[in-house]
A and B are shown apart, each in its own frame.
Chain A
Amino acid sequence: METGQSITLAALSSHLLVGLSRAMILFIVTSGLSFVLGVLRVPNVAHGSLYMIGAFAAFSISTALGGGAWGFWLALILAPCVVALVSLIAERSLFCHLYEREHLMLLLFTFALMLILGDLTKMIWGADYRSIMAPPLLQGSVSIFDSPFPKYNLFLIIVGPIVAIGLWLFTSKTKIGKIARAAAVDREMVGAIGINVSWVFAFAFVLGCFLAGLGGALVSPTISVTLGMDHDIIIEAFLIVTIGGLGNMWGAMAGSLIFGITQSFGVLFWPQFAIVFPYAAVVIVLTLKPTGMLKSVW
Chain B
Amino acid sequence: MFQDMLRQKSFGASAAIFMALLIAPLIIPKFYTYILAVIFVTALLAMSLNMVVGHGGLFQFHHAAFYGVGAYTAGLILVKTSWPWWIGFIAGPIGAAVTGLVIGLFCIRLNKLYFGMLQISLGSLIWAIAFRWYRLTGGDDGIHGIPMPEFISGLKSSYYFVLILVAVCLILMYLILKSPFGTTLQAIRDNPERCAAVGINVRRHQLMGIVVATFFAGVAGVLFITVEGSIFPDLLFWVLSLEVFIMCLLGGWFTFGGPILGAAMIVSLRTFVGTYTEYWTLILGVILILLIFFLPDGIMGYNYLAKLRRRSKRRSASRAE
Q: Do A and B associate with each other?
A: yes
Chain A residues with CB under 8 Å of chain B are 41, 43, 45, 94, 97-98, 101, 103-105, 108-109, 111-116, 118-120, 122-123, 231, 235, 238-239, 241-242, 246, 272-273, 275-276, 279, 282-283, 286-287, 290-291
**Contact indicator B285/A119 (Cβ below 8 Å):** yes
Task: Kindly state the separation between the CA atoms of A287 and B133 in the bound complex, as whole angstroms.
Answer: 26
Q: In this assembly, does B2 line the interface, its C-beta being within 8 Å of a C-beta of chain A?
A: no
Contact of B110 among A113, A279, A291 (CB under 8 A): A291
For B242, what are the chain A residues with a Cβ–Cβ distance below 8 Å?
45, 111
Q: Answer whether A290 and B109 are a contact pair too, CB < 8 Å, given A108-B292, A242-B118, A272-B132.
A: yes
Q: Which residue of B lies closest to A37 (CB)?
A: B113
Task: Kindly state the separation between the CA atoms of A287 and B121 in the bound complex, as whole angstroms.
Answer: 15
**Contact indicator A109/B113 (Cβ below 8 Å):** no
Task: Name the distance in Å between A122's Cβ and chain B's nearest Cβ.
Answer: 7
**Contact indicator A283/B279 (Cβ below 8 Å):** no
Instruction: Please report the number of residue pairs spanning A and B whose Cβ atoms sit closer than 8 angstroms.
Output: 99
Q: Which residue of A lies closest to B114 (CB)?
A: A242
Q: In this assembly, does B288 line the interface, its C-beta being within 8 Å of a C-beta of chain A?
A: yes
Q: Which 10 A-B pairs have the closest CB atoms?
A: A115-B285, A119-B282, A116-B285, A112-B288, A239-B121, A112-B285, A115-B281, A235-B124, A279-B125, A290-B109
Q: Which residue of A lies closest to B290 (CB)?
A: A112
Task: Name the distance in Å between A256's Cβ and chain B's nearest Cβ.
Answer: 14
Task: Kindly state the separation between the CA atoms of A147 and B237 in the bound complex, as whole angstroms.
Answer: 39
Q: Which DSSP category, helix, strand, loop or mixed, fits chain B's interface?
A: helix
Task: Name the distance in Å between A242's Cβ and chain B's nearest Cβ.
Answer: 5
- 21 A-B contacts (beta carbon < 8 Å): A43-B113, A43-B116, A45-B242, A103-B113, A104-B59, A108-B246, A111-B242, A111-B288, A112-B285, A112-B288, A115-B285, A119-B282, A231-B238, A235-B121, A241-B117, A242-B117, A275-B125, A276-B125, A282-B121, A286-B118, A290-B109
Q: A241-B117, A242-B118 are in contact. List 8 more A-B contacts (CB 8 A).
A: A41-B113, A109-B289, A116-B281, A116-B289, A238-B117, A238-B120, A279-B121, A286-B118
Q: Answer whether A116 and B296 are a contact pair too, CB < 8 Å, given A108-B249, A235-B124, A291-B114.
A: no
Contact of B296 among A101, A103, A112 (CB under 8 A): A101
**Contact indicator B117/A116 (Cβ below 8 Å):** no
**Contact indicator B121/A115 (Cβ below 8 Å):** no
For B200, what are the chain A residues with a Cβ–Cβ distance below 8 Å?
none
**Contact indicator B106/A283 (Cβ below 8 Å):** yes
**Contact indicator A115/B284 (Cβ below 8 Å):** yes
For B109, what are the chain A residues with a Cβ–Cβ distance below 8 Å?
290
Contact with A along B127-163 (1 / 0, CB 8 A): 0110011000000000000000000000000000000
Task: Kindly state the separation between the CA atoms of A235 and B126 in the bound complex, as whole angstroms.
Answer: 12
Q: In this assembly, does B239 line the interface, its C-beta being within 8 Å of a C-beta of chain A?
A: yes
For A109, what are the chain B residues with a Cβ–Cβ distance below 8 Å?
288-289, 292
Task: Kindly state the separation between the CA atoms of A126 and B128 in the bound complex, as whole angstroms.
Answer: 25
Chain B residues with CB under 8 Å of chain A are 59, 106, 109-110, 112-114, 116-118, 120-122, 124-125, 128-129, 132-133, 237-239, 242, 245-246, 249, 278-279, 281-282, 284-286, 288-289, 292-293, 296
For B120, what are the chain A residues with a Cβ–Cβ distance below 8 Å?
235, 238
For A41, what are the chain B residues with a Cβ–Cβ distance below 8 Å?
113
**Contact indicator A275/B110 (Cβ below 8 Å):** no
Task: Kindly state the separation between the CA atoms of A253 and B165 in the bound complex, as whole angstroms.
Answer: 49
Task: Name the distance in Å between A40's Cβ and chain B's nearest Cβ.
Answer: 12
Q: Answer whether A238 and B282 are a contact pair too, CB < 8 Å, given A111-B242, A112-B289, A246-B113.
A: no
**Contact indicator A112/B292 (Cβ below 8 Å):** yes
**Contact indicator A119/B281 (Cβ below 8 Å):** yes
Q: Answer whether A116 and B113 are a contact pair too, CB < 8 Å, given A238-B120, A238-B121, A272-B132.
A: no
Q: Which of A103, A118, A235 has the most CB of B within 10 A?
A: A235
Contact of B282 among A43, A120, A241 (CB under 8 A): A120
Q: Which of B110, B125, B133, B245 has the most CB of A within 10 A?
A: B125
For B114, what are the chain A residues with a Cβ–Cβ distance below 8 Å?
242, 246, 290-291
For B289, what are the chain A residues with a Cβ–Cβ distance below 8 Å?
94, 109, 112, 116
Task: Kindly state the separation between the CA atoms of A287 and B110 in the bound complex, as whole angstroms.
Answer: 11
Q: Which of A94, A111, A279 has the most CB of B within 10 A?
A: A111
Task: Name the distance in Å between B248's Cβ and chain A's nearest Cβ.
Answer: 11
Task: Kindly state the separation between the CA atoms of A113 and B242 in the bound complex, as whole angstroms.
Answer: 13
For A104, what are the chain B residues with a Cβ–Cβ distance below 8 Å?
59
Q: Which residue of A lies closest to B289 (CB)?
A: A112
**Contact indicator B132/A116 (Cβ below 8 Å):** no
For B279, what are the chain A residues with a Cβ–Cβ distance below 8 Å?
119, 122-123
**Contact indicator B281/A118 (Cβ below 8 Å):** yes
**Contact indicator B282/A98 (Cβ below 8 Å):** no
Contact of A231 among B122, B239, B246 (CB under 8 A): B239
Q: Which residue of A lies closest to B242 (CB)?
A: A111
**Contact indicator B132/A108 (Cβ below 8 Å):** no
Task: Name the distance in Å between A37's Cβ and chain B's nearest Cβ.
Answer: 8
Q: Which residue of B lies closest to A117 (CB)?
A: B285
Q: Answer whether A235 and B284 are a contact pair too, CB < 8 Å, given A105-B296, A276-B125.
A: no
Q: Answer whether A275 and B128 are a contact pair too, CB < 8 Å, given A109-B292, A115-B282, A291-B110.
A: yes
For B122, what are the chain A residues with a Cβ–Cβ distance below 8 Å?
279, 283
